[in-house]
Chain A
């Protein structure tokens, strides 16, 4: 029973990381119809930005230090994403396949650059003890990192929901996802909303990259980490329904839980370590067969 609780918390934390990635992907797709393959590189860049800042903070590894590290990761993701939208996506408006292709090329180039700069060996991110420790609650030992990841996921979900419902730009983004041409015809500059969506998505991705490294990869970051994670985020987005934030959140939790449950209970014994990953693909296949537009997707 205690194992089950610990695994469930771990699955929820994994789901939170997936949600952070999928939220950006889903927003970008919903508004612009672009599937952003460079999101994987944004994740990895977030991890390396966190690593670089943590290097400077070795003296003060207190509570505030990790917030700085996380902030740097989010900032790096946001900056690269904004630059991507302005320099590469903007010239290709209206050509969706070309936009997808350009993000694929960018991902290739960025990962290559990171490989050149840091080599294929991992770097250890310096994190304070309260992130890497373990807390016992009623006899269940749960890694503190799980709480950090889950808390971050909840916070971003709350912030995004508020942003989309209550702010002017949030309303423009939702309207644009509904009918881009109508919003443009009403005299609203949709281009700025595009840049904003990319920036917000990039920030969440940068943060997710760091959290994934810290919580699930032993505080290590390597150049291809983001791309491996990205495939699961794609699956989450499709299961949840392209363009739906709530759908992404729901699907992220489902995928995270399925992955750890199957991985632990079915994969551990049979020596099939990857069974958890395979099961996620099967969930995707079943969802698409029964409900091609995803759990909470609109009728497109």
Chain B
């Protein structure tokens, strides 16, 4: 990815000056940096075979690890982890706070849904057209929104996402199904992705998708373009003085992040089987993704993944707890707030912003430093 810098790779000295710091990794020896994620990945990949029961902690209604409920919650967590990674590129790595990420997520879910269910296309052309639509939307709106900065940028992106939400609610030509949403027609999907037995296949699909998104995000953020993103985050003026044109890089970050959201929307649709405005197109989705990234740790990649999985898990788990019969016997001042996942997540989020600015990734880093005796 060197096109935007005029075809030549920037020398290391310039890059160091751009970002104001050397990108050196300190701490753990190399093999452990690779081994830990691989072990976690292997555990998640083998989870559908774990037919044993674990009490208390699972988010699904049945206390068996590979039950459909638990696998669905985790799959959803992987999808949102991918969207959160995209958001982290835009917000954490480039310093652009967008409140419109849900628009591209909704585009992914709805265009794919319409292509499959209204036009009855086959899966592959439907996927291709959805990706192209997401790309076009991100290019046009990105070029428009990036004319303004800071809070105004956040507001314009929010406004466009809201316009998308209203259009979907309005159900033009009966395309979107309006308020109730559009159920995906499974007729032309591959048999592995349909039916009761499909749960574990969809789980693996979401996991493979997340791994692919993580790899692409890693490559992008470690590339020369990624260094320029960091430079723009630190000081756009400085990047400009060093002879770069920031607009193209900011647009690249915007489009990259939006495309991941579109792809996430497509996998979401395959997983959940329906696109409804409240869960796919509403601004609350953008806010959730923002909360995930901040909970996990801004600008750290794996933090966004951890934050998203923890968020989705907590949301489902807290709902399950609140539905327990014994929960109803609590006194009202305890029961009312504790029955609302949004309340608890909001409080956790506020506490993190106030007291744990680095998020989960920051906490992990602090623990590691202490163990190494520094």
Are B166 and A238 in contact (CB-based, < 8 A)?
Answer: no
**Interface digits, B142-159 against A, CB 8 Å rule (1 contact, 0 not)?**
001001100110111011
- Closest Cβ of chain B: how far from A226's Cβ, in Å? 13
Are B346 and A231 in contact (CB-based, < 8 A)?
Answer: no
B294 beta carbon closer than 8 Å to chain A: yes
Q: Using Cβ atoms and an 8 Å threshold, which residues of chain B touch A242?
A: 151-152
Among A256-299, those with CB < 8 Å from B are 271-275, 277-278, 280-282, 284-285, 288-289, 292
Among A208-252, those with CB < 8 Å from B are 227, 231, 234-235, 237-238, 242
Are B156 and A105 in contact (CB-based, < 8 A)?
Answer: no
A45 beta carbon closer than 8 Å to chain B: no
A292 and B170 in contact, given A98-B357, A105-B346, A113-B340 (Cβ under 8 angstroms): no
Are B151 and A35 in contact (CB-based, < 8 A)?
Answer: yes
A151 to B261, CA, bound (A): 45
Q: Using Cβ atoms and an 8 Å threshold, which residues of chain A touch B347?
A: 105, 109
Q: Using Cβ atoms and an 8 Å threshold, which residues of chain B touch A73?
A: none
Are A288 and B158 in contact (CB-based, < 8 A)?
Answer: no
Are A292 and B152 in contact (CB-based, < 8 A)?
Answer: yes
Q: Using Cβ atoms and an 8 Å threshold, which residues of chain B touch A54?
A: none
Binds A, one of B180-188, B348-356, B364-372: B348-356
- Closest Cβ of chain B: how far from A75's Cβ, in Å? 23
Among B158, B170, B349, the residue within 8 A (CB) of A105 is: B349
Most chain A beta-carbon neighbours within 10 Å: one of B156, B172, B339: B156
Among A29, A115, A273, A284, the residue within 8 A (CB) of B340 is: A115
Are B336 and A288 in contact (CB-based, < 8 A)?
Answer: no
Please report the total number of A residues contacting B with Cβ < 8 Å: 45
- Provide the main secondary structure of the chain A interface: helix
Are A109 and B350 in contact (CB-based, < 8 A)?
Answer: yes
Are A234 and B155 in contact (CB-based, < 8 A)?
Answer: yes
Are B350 and A231 in contact (CB-based, < 8 A)?
Answer: no
Are A281 and B162 in contact (CB-based, < 8 A)?
Answer: yes
A116 and B340 in contact, given A102-B350, A242-B152 (Cβ under 8 angstroms): yes
B345 beta carbon closer than 8 Å to chain A: yes
Among A108, A274, A288, the residue within 8 A (CB) of B346 is: A108
B116 beta carbon closer than 8 Å to chain A: no
Q: Using Cβ atoms and an 8 Å threshold, which residues of chain B touch A35?
A: 151, 154
- Closest Cβ of chain A: how far from B366's Cβ, in Å? 18
A234 to B166, CA, bound (A): 16
Are B155 and A277 in contact (CB-based, < 8 A)?
Answer: no
**Interface digits, A110-145 against B, CB 8 Å rule (1 contact, 0 not)?**
111101110000000000000000000000000000
Are B152 and A101 in contact (CB-based, < 8 A)?
Answer: no
A106 and B162 in contact, given A88-B354, A275-B170, A292-B152 (Cβ under 8 angstroms): no
A104 beta carbon closer than 8 Å to chain B: yes
Most chain A beta-carbon neighbours within 10 Å: one of B160, B166, B349: B166
A91 beta carbon closer than 8 Å to chain B: yes
Among A98, A113, A284, the residue within 8 A (CB) of B343 is: A113
Considering the complex of A and B, which 5 residue pairs feature the smallest CB-CB distances, nearest first?
A109-B346, A112-B343, A108-B346, A112-B342, A274-B166
18 A-B pairs, CB-CB below 8 angstroms?
A88-B350, A97-B97, A98-B353, A98-B357, A101-B290, A102-B353, A104-B287, A106-B350, A108-B342, A109-B346, A112-B337, A112-B343, A112-B344, A116-B343, A272-B172, A273-B170, A281-B163, A285-B156
